[in-house]
Structure 1
Amino acid sequence: MPRLPHQTIKSVAPIAVGAVLFALGLYALYHILRPVNMADVAAQIRATPRSALVAALAATFIGYIALIFYDWFGLRFIGKRLDRGVVALGGFLGYAFGNTIGVSVVSGGAVRYRIYSAVGLNAFEVAAVSGYIAVALGTGLTLVGVASLAILPGAVGTLLPYAPQAIQSGAAALTVASVGLIAWMSVSQRSLVLRGLDLRMPPPADLTGQLIVTMVDIAAAAFALWVLLPAGKPDYATFVAVYAAATMIGVLSHVPGGIGVFEAVVIGTLPASVPVGDAAAALLLFRLIYYLVPFALAFLLVVMNEIRLVSGLGSRLLARAPALQPAYATLHGVSPGLVATVAFGFGAWLLLITMLPAVRAEAMAEGDLIGVLLLEGGTLASAVAGVGLIIVSHGLARRVSSAWWFAIGAMLAGAVASLLNDYGYENAAFLGAGVLLLLPFRKAFDRPGRLTAGVFDAYWFATVLGVGVAAAAFFFFVHKTVPYSNDLWSEFSRDSDTPRALRAALAATALMFFFGVYLLTRPVRRKPPVDARDEAGSQSSTLCAQADDPMAWLSQTGDKRFLFSEPGNAFIMYAVRGGSWVALGDPVGDPAEFEDLIWSFTDQAAQSNARPVFYEVSARNLALWVEFGMSLHKVGEEAVVRLPEFSLAGGRFKTMRAAQNKRLRDGYAFSVLAAPHAPDLLEELRVISDAWLGGKIGREKGFSVGRFDPVYLAHFDISVVRKEGRIIAFANIMATKAGDQLAVDLMRYLPEEASGLMEFMFLSLIEHYKAKGAQELSLGTAPLSGLSERSVARSWNRFGRLIFRHGGTFYNFEGLRAFKQKFQPDWRPRYLALPPNVSPMRAMGDVALLIAGSARGLIAK
């Protein structure tokens, strides 16, 4: 049996563990709720005092204000100050979406990145803030929970197999030790290295403020649930310990919102005097108030922003708060993932309501065939619409236009089905309101494509499976009093609630099953679709001449395919190797078209059952790769000389200056020859190129570098070095239209003249183009340079460092970087952008073979 790649295991393991814990939590909750009647739970919810609801809402409001201060202290921790409105917006949206959804495309970290990066923070600073919040929340929950056990050891005594005295002693010792360590680290500003991670604490004043915020946060959230619990509940102080422990276990489970896990712990620790049904009703209300109400408010905020973008309403009001304008502008990018989440939630809701007994059936006359058919049809239609929304949610996340229309249609169908099924005016109104809220997002879904492309990623699959398990558990809970028999499947009457729910579940399961079979049995295509524009060299050449990156000219080497944007003002250059579609560098052309172009590339690769790989992308478009959920792996650094600041004067260039002057005295001469080039010149250069290649074991490289081809070289000026009138070295220079950005591409020289020749060439190029007013000259990329050496670095970094240091048999990586470092360049990172489930080792294997042309071509002398 083949072994799973390490990267695959690492990415799938957390999802699998979360799914198992979710199933175990539901199983425990089902057994706890076995004696409970659903009607009693509904009655308890209706009987909840209005004062308790108002108190829970007020506590939720206070709790979310406290949560926003986590962001404020996190920004102080990294030394950044932002407008208070921006912090409030980023914090509220981050917690409103993150608490409810968990790990997703619109999780708290993703929302914070969009908002904070729009006002000046880079990706690493946002990651530092998110890390601070995670540590502060986890540490605060743990300390409060443990400290509560030290004071009230019986709070969770039923869950732990220890005597109250042992629990109290252990909790007290752990609390004192933890508080002492944290206080010492804060006062001394010492750091703690834990598994390679360097942890430090904020100064005492900030630590005290953070402690107060944490206590307010936990106290408010615990009170919001405590006030909803019925008589017989533990006192508030004891319940804080219960809440902290349940929340901590829910967070560790990685289940979105800790659903099932949190409830099982809370109910399991409540006194026997609290009716289980009443506790279930309180927990359901708490979920609605503490999670769904903030989520709904945050969603409405995004809806209003979409309305503002479409109609201009509210723009004048926003103009009075200029600091918020960049932050609000980023919310449009959250829309696809957020709408996908909402559609998925509506789908799950439709599945669940099909499990509920029909109230109208009791009022139907005996033999009312039309009424029975309406009930049957409405129940089946609700189930099918629910599954349809769950399936189409993946297309919504990818901004597919047809997915939006399908979702609108499915929700309208669900509303009609609700009316047919028991005259469910409330459900129909709820779905109708959902349709109205989704209408302003129409422009966010502007991409053509298939709804089924790339559906089976691990997280989506686990989420769908979780909904299925939850729906099954809900069905058994609601209909547990009905004994099963085969006759249930064929029973049609006004009061056959369980048979109707069974048939609806069968229809939903069959639809999902056949959908899965269809996906798994689709023909495999690895060949890119034929596109007449693949051969449009003139179109790509025109765009290269207008590009602001000279590396765009690598598209003209003749070994690449092109994918153009729909308007035709941007393109991606790529090639196919094995199961990978490898795009080189950033998209070329109009940046406004990059997002749709990247989506089109990844979508077409998925349709061809291939991996989309983006090789040597720069840091200019990091936000785009984050938005597409790509993982970034550093593959090297580009050496860029800032020409206005470069000078050979000073002690550090003394040796190079002397060597340069000596070569000039020895008869070396440098010049730049403008295109077009005479055939005689190109033949002279070919002799040099062939001699240079003759000294190599491997063949001429391609894809990421130029090759000797008269058609290719006709695009560029060529710099040459002569000795006594004879050309001994040359390099072609890629340039932008304005001529201020340049890059050295193909460099060839006679092997017998190698000593110091490239140094002379580079210095001459720098001086020549500096005199012409150019701004930057790229000396090319140093592969595998700048990768992290820390022990906790990902496996790709460790492997890359090993090759960088000891891979001389393949390529002199370390020597190349050392040579370019002589010119004191800026080192700018280059990345490999991949979908999270693609191994960088596998992708780089395809890239290496693409560049080398064959395995033999990987070896260099």
Structure 2
Amino acid sequence: MHQRLKPALLTIVTLLLFAGAAYAIRHQLETMKWHDLVVQIRGLRWSAVLLTLVGTIGSFTALIGYDWSALRYVGAKVPFRTMALASFCGYAVGNTIGGLVTASSVRYRVYTATGLDFADIARIAGFCALAFGFGITTVGATALLLQPHLVTQALGIRTAWVTAGAVAVLAGAAWFLLLCARRRPDQPLFGRIALPSFGIASGQLLISAVELLFAGFAFWVLLPHGSVSFSAFFVVFVVATVAGIVSHVPGGVGVFETVMLLGLGSVLPPSAIAAALVIYRAVYFLIPVILAVGILAGAEAARGVRQLQTHVPTRLTLDVAGRLMPSLMAALVFVIGTLLLISAATPTLKSRFEILETLPVAVVELSHLLASVVGLALLVVAWGLFRRLIAAYWLTLALLGASAVLALGKGFAWREALLLLLCLVIMLPCRQEFWRRSALFEQPMTPGWLVALGSVVGGMAWLTFFSFRHVAYANDLWWTFEIHEEASRALRAMVVVSLLATLYGLWHLVRAHRGRAVAPTAAELFRAEQILRQQPRAEANLVRMGDKAILFSDSGKAFLMYAIQGRTWAALGDPVGAREDWPELIWRFREMTEASSGRPAYYAVRAETLPLYLDTGMTLSKLGEEARIPLRGFTLEGGGRKKALRYALTRGEKDGLTFEIVPAGAGMPLISELAAVSDAWLTKQAAREKKFSLGAFGPDYVQGSTLALIRENGRLVAFASLMTTDETAEVAIDLMRHTEATSRLVMEYLITKLIVHFQGAGYETLSLGMAPLSGMDSHPMAPLWHRIGRFVYRSGARFYNFEGLRAFKQKFDPVWEPRYLATPSGLAPALAISDIAALIGGGIKGLVAR
């Protein structure tokens, strides 16, 4: 219930904050007219705007220091150009539409391309977040201590309280730096976070101060000269920045403006503050996004140059650019759509009426209305760009071209038209980054995107009433069609956009349905078997169980198998088949779950495929490690464990054990013998058949597998069903069961014989399956899930002998490879694990049974 209510509550709180900010701004600007704002903007000195640009450049340059410090903290090395690209693009997007595409998600895409593992990337993202909080808190407290009067006056609190709070914060910062100076290597803070060195901590504090000072300077130079000291202004700026971040409103829009108006309202007229806010948003937020997209588009255009592809650092940069392009392009298109709606809600410049009067009224009216509808469409299409939909790419090009023409028709807005054409040109070389062939309107939006869309449309309505509030309202405004009746055009555009956005949001709500897994037909199972035979992954044979639904790719060359338990849609492992179809299947599966209000979970995925899941917004939790025996080069010679395996062979033969391989399809005459051994094993273990990620004993399934039999003096005492494909890359043990025997080394004998047999058959790897919860990190900074996993691993023998299972597999000297669970964040991993455990156990009853 918490997981269901959390997104809704977050959405409601965010919208309420946005609505409250809009009301506060309206109150602060009550005496200001739209014409006053235009006059103030036009009155700004070009030198001030250039200084704002200088401050922006300084701020974004300092932001690179966050990644530099984080990489030093984790001890990782990344080429400077890659680090700079990650930082600039991440903050350009995060600052502009933070909450939809964050700097952390951008970092994941960049640093996975450099080969950093997931744990290091998580530590980098965590360090940057904590460093920002530490830096802005310390710098803000210092500023409050020096110049508290504007904040105390705006909030109506005593200066002594603010001073005491600032002193307490600075004392805490000094204590933290002292801990860092006296730390031991890897000494944790509060038992979890490893302390950075004093050099990293103090250096990051300096970086934070420089970045904030540059960002504040970029705003301050836009205010009337001499109106407020920088130190007094800086306090308000830091508080506004923090409020915008904490609000979770995309880009802090409205909340940041409200705090700035409240804090500076006692020393500056509202029109001067509002004009500075408009230019600051354009220079500090919009220009970096356009520049970032332009850089990535240039990289896309250069991708085909062979000389660049042979230079390893340059090739890495180009790969990173490809990973970032959809996110950055989605951000830019969202901003462009917002600008179109703002343009539709504000008056036309008076200098353009001479041109408008030469055009037919119908052209002006229709252009204005259609331009606003195109703006809304761009907000929707931006979500498709983020998901790499080819339909969204082509539709965006068409919408940008159409809106450029409409910009000229509605008011000869040639600057707006040039910006739209520039975005269109930037997108042209990026075609290959949008490859998913999925219907655009089948993509369910996340609550965050719906909130952003609703906020923009609500902002358009607010701006319409603000811009034309001095126009006397009358019913005939809705039906007046004249060149000079701008209020009428704006009202009609607002109503049409609001109505379309409302219908779109309601459609998303009512179209959601509870899904159910449909058992595969015989034809689907046959298709899946043909695919799995032509690829190396042996565990894909579990599809033959028939207990999982099958999702095929559009080309029919790959599939993904899944089952549903509660709200969890659990995909078993990575997709199977053609690698080029895997991203499509992973995206489609997530979209299916979202459309059905489900919880996506990708169970037991491999390390090399993690970027595919990160690209869909999943978080990762380690499940355990799979034991894989490399057969090439394997030898029984030597001491230690190898000596024990040689003994198992010789002793087993003396005890009368014999080994036999039965090919797939030839096991039906043995079913009764096999069933007797299986039943005896289940009875002794007090267990029941498992499902989903494990094979179950069924006549059709077992006889369709290759079988390894162990007989003791002619009596069947053990067997293993094996999973193979036509490629001799991997063989995996599925069912492995035994009954009472005289020899105590039946299972060691069986596995050792399998190693020798399949090594001789030319196979590369023998998989012994996964050891759940093994290999969990004990580092002080390890996630909470790792610490829980280690506790269960060591203390859960009453329910499952985790340590014993790993110890048995360790006898054969395997290589341990990690396996992960990919899910949404929050409580989703724990809930998914619970549902998947029920799937494996055959329901809740099976979950509590041994």
TM-score normalized by the length of structure 2: 0.89
Q: 1:343 aligns with which of 317, 326, 333?
A: 333
1:414–1:641 distance in 2 versus 1, CA, 3 Å: same
Match of 2:323 among 333, 339, 345: 333
Report the residue type matching 2:210 in the other structure. Answer: V
Contact 2:180-2:201 within 8 A present in 1 as well: no
Could you say which residue in structure 1 is the equivalent of 2:119?
A: 124
CA contact (8 A) 2:188 2:781 kept: no
Give the Cα separation in 2 of the matches to 1:130 and 1:175.
Answer: 25
Aligned partner of 1:632: which letter?
A: L
How many Å apart are 1:356 and its aligned residue?
Answer: 1.3
| Residue 594 of structure 1: how far off its partner (Å) | 0.9
> 1:749 matched to which residue of 2?
738
> How far, CA to CA, are the matches of 1:610 and 1:162 in structure 2?
47
1:639 paired to 2:645: no
CA distance in 2, matches of 1:286, 1:315: 41
Query: Offset at 1:770?
Result: 5.4
Helix, strand or coil at the partner of 2:441: coil
Q: 1:124 to 1:211 in 2, by over 3 A?
A: same
Is 2:61 aligned against 1:65?
Answer: yes
Alignment partner of 2:418 out of 429, 437, 449: 429
Aligned residue for 1:146?
141
How big is the shift at 1:57? 1.5
SS in structure 1 of the partner of residue 602 of structure 2: strand
Unaligned stretches of 5+ residues in structure 2? none
358, 365, 369: which one aligns with 1:376: 365
TM-score (norm 1): 0.88
| CA deviations over 1:387-411 (Å, ceiling 9, x no partner) | 2222233233233333333333333
2:550 counterpart (562, 580, 585): 562
Letter in 2 for 1:127: A
Partner of 2:46: 50
Compute the displacement of 1:459 (Å): 0.8
Residues of 2 paired with 1:153 and 1:447: CA distance?
54
**Cα deviation, residue 183, structure 1:** 3.1
Correspondence for 1:588:
576
* Mean CA deviation greater in 404-413 or 133-142: 404-413
Q: 1:610-644 CA distances to partner (integer Å, 9 max, x unpaired)?
A: 55442222222100000011233444432334555
Q: Which residue identity is paired with 2:275?
A: A
Q: How does 1:380-399 map to 2 (within 5 A)?
A: 380-399=369-388
Per-residue deviation, 1:730: 0.6
Aligned partners of 2:400 and 2:424 also within 8 Å: yes
Query: 176, 182, 188: which one pairs with 2:177?
Result: 182
Flag the 1:79–1:12 CA change in 2: closer, same or farther, 3 A.
farther
Structure-to-structure mapping, 1:629-668, within 5 angstroms = 629-642=617-630, 644=633, 650=639, 662-668=651-657
User: CA shift at 1:763, angstroms?
Assistant: 4.0
Q: After TM superposition, give the deviation of residue 34 of structure 1 in Å.
A: 2.0
The answer (yes or no) to whether the contact 2:135–2:205 under 8 Å persists in 1 is: yes
Report how far residue 501 of structure 1 moved.
1.6
The alpha carbon displacement at 1:744 in A equals 0.9
| SS of structure 2 residue aligned to 1:742 | strand
3-state SS in 2 of match to 1:466: helix
The one-character-per-residue Cα deviations of 1:89-117 (angstroms, maximum 9, x if unpaired) are 22222222222221334x32222222222
Identify the residue that residue 285 of structure 1 maps to in structure 2: 279
Match of 1:618 in 2: 606
- Aligned partner of 2:82 in structure 1 is 86
Relative to structure 1, the CA distance from residue 603 to residue 240 in structure 2 (aligned partners, 3 Å threshold; closer, same or farther) is: closer
SS in 2 for 1:354: helix
Describe how 1:161-176 pairs up with structure 2 within 5 A.
161-176=156-171
What is the rounded CA distance, in whole Å, between the counterparts of 2:438 and 2:757 in structure 1? Answer: 49
Offset, 1:298:
0.4
- Say if 1:165 and 1:798 are closer, same or farther in 2 by CA, change over 3 A: closer
Partner of 1:264: 258
Determine the structure 2 residue equivalent to 1:156: 151
Give, as a single letter, the amino acid of the residue that structure 1 aligns with 2:249: V
Q: What number of residue pairs does the alignment pair up?
A: 849
My pick for the range that moved more, 724-733 or 480-489, is 480-489
* 1:305 paired to 2:299: yes
Q: CA deviation at 1:134?
A: 1.7
Question: Deviations 1:332-352 (Å, cap 9, x if unpaired)?
Answer: 233333333222222222221
State the Cα distance separating 1:535 from its structure 2 match: 1.8
| Alpha-carbon spacing, 1:319–1:670, altered in 2? closer, same or farther (3 Å) | closer
Cα separation, 2, equivalents of 1:606 and 1:540:
25
The aligned residue for residue 31 of structure 2 is 35
SS of aligned partner of 1:233: coil
Q: Residues 199, 255 of structure 1: CA spacing in aligned structure 2 closer, same or farther, 3 A cutoff?
A: farther
Q: Does 1:440 align with 2:429?
A: yes
* Partner Cα distance (2:665, 2:434) in 1: 46
Which residue in 1 is equivalent to 2:197? 202
Task: State how far apart, in whole Å, the 2-side matches of 1:391 and 1:740 are.
Answer: 45
- Deviation string 1:722-742 (CA, Å, 9 cap, x unpaired) is 111222111022245553533
Shift of residue 75, structure 1, vs aligned partner: 0.9
- CA-CA distance at 1:529 after TM superposition: 8.6
Q: Please say if residues 182 and 201 of structure 1, whose CA atoms lie closer than 8 Å, have aligned partners that are also in contact.
A: no
Contact 1:811 1:860 in 2 (8 A): no
1:218 aligns with 2:207: no
Question: Judging changes above 3 Å, is the alpha-carbon distance between structure 1 residues 115 and 803 closer, same or farther for their aligned structure 2 residues?
Answer: closer
Find 2:238's aligned residue among 244, 247, 250.
244
In the alignment, is residue 688 of structure 1 matched against residue 677 of structure 2? yes
Instruction: Please say if residues 849 and 855 of structure 1, whose CA atoms lie closer than 8 Å, have aligned partners that are also in contact.
Output: yes
**Cross-structure match for 2:313:** 323
Query: What is the distance in 2 between the residues matched to 1:389 and 1:529?
Result: 36
Match of 1:503 among 476, 482, 492: 492
The residue correspondences of 1:434-513 to structure 2 (distance < 5 A) are 434-513=423-502
Is the alpha carbon distance of 1:232 and 1:477 closer, same or farther for their aligned partners in structure 2, counting shifts above 3 Å? farther
CA contact (8 A) 1:583 1:613 kept: yes
- CA distance in structure 1 between the aligned counterparts of 2:507 and 2:251, rounded to whole angstroms: 32
- What is the identity, as a one-letter code, of the residue corresponding to 2:314? L
Matched residue of 1:156: which SS?
Answer: helix
Q: For structure 1, which runs of at least 5 residues remain unmatched after alignment?
A: none
Query: Does the CA-based 8 Å contact 2:378-2:396 persist in structure 1?
Result: yes
Q: Is the 8 A contact 2:389 2:434 kept in 1?
A: yes
1:230 aligns with 2:224: yes
Matched, 1:114 2:109: yes
* Partner Cα distance (1:129, 1:795) in 2: 17
Higher mean Cα deviation, 293-302 or 647-656?
647-656
Describe the SS at the equivalent of 1:373.
Answer: helix
Task: Map Cα deviations across residues 718-773 of structure 1 (whole Å, 9 max, x no partner).
Answer: 22221112221110222455535332111122256796533443344345545667
- The 10-residue stretch of structure 1 (52-61 or 611-620) with the greater mean CA deviation from structure 2: 611-620
Which residue identity lines up with residue 36 of structure 2 in the other structure?
D
In the TM superposition, what whole-angstrom CA distance separates every residue of 1:489-544 from its partner, at most 9, and x where no partner exists? 34444433223222211111111222233334448473679999x72545433432
2:458 and 2:782 map into 1 onto residues whose CA distance is: 37
- Larger mean CA deviation between 64-73 and 783-792 belongs to 783-792
Take 1:780 and 1:320, find their aligned partners in 2: how far apart are those partners? Answer: 39
Corresponding position of 1:77: 73
Distance in 2 of aligned mates of 1:608 and 1:215: 47
The offset of 1:48, in angstroms, is 1.8
CA-based RMSD of the aligned residues comes to: 3.7
CA contact (8 A) 1:28 1:264 kept: yes
Distance 1:184 1:584, change over 3 A: closer
